[in-house]
Amino acid sequence: MKLKINLIGILVVALVVFAGCASTSDVGKSGDGNAVLSLDVDSKNLGDISQSEGIMSTEFTITNDGSDDLIITAMDTSCMCTTAQIITDDATGPVYGMSTHGNPTGESVIEPGTSATLKLFYDPNVHGDLRGPVTRMVNIMSNAGTKQIRIKLNQVE
């Protein structure tokens, strides 16, 4: 009887050890920090932007240099004159602005080794009387952390 109890105990221990090994073999498969958000550039100088020409846009490239899906969970901008949107091969994401003015929910997914376009819009008419140098930022929040990009420009008539 004692031998039977010892064998059962050994089997239980072996099963626990096996289950623990099986659960750790999934590390690196999904969501454990192996997404890497890389930007082609993190700042652009757009030069003179004319208020009379209205909304302008520029693009940045986001690449996932990691081994897991890069999940963009949110974005926000430093001013309501600036909005941003992720465009992938599969979808055009929602338009994000200042978080204090409410932002959409949802995610944009960039698979490992692929890129997406971050389209940034600047509306000079939001600040009708503004003339001179302007700097605006966009924060990109993801499962790889937060990155910031910025645009600089000179707003003219």
The pLDDT assigned to 4 comes to: 53
CATH number of 37-156: 2.60.40.10
Closest CA to 123 of 62, 74, 58: 58
More confident residue, 154 or 1: 154
In this structure, what token pair is assigned to residue 54? 């209205």
Per-residue pLDDT reduced to its tens digit, 144-153 = 999 999 999 9
Determine contact, residues 108/72, Cβ cutoff 8 Å.
Answer: yes
Per-residue pLDDT reduced to its tens digit, 116-130 = 999 999 999 998 899
What's the start-to-end Cα distance of the chain, in Å? 94
Q: Is the pLDDT of residue 20 over 50?
A: no
Please, what is the average pLDDT of the chain? 83
Closest CA to 90 of 61, 65, 60, 115: 115
Domain extent listing, the chain: 1-30, 37-156
What is the percentage of the chain residues whose pLDDT exceeds 70? 79
The pLDDT assigned to 25 comes to: 33
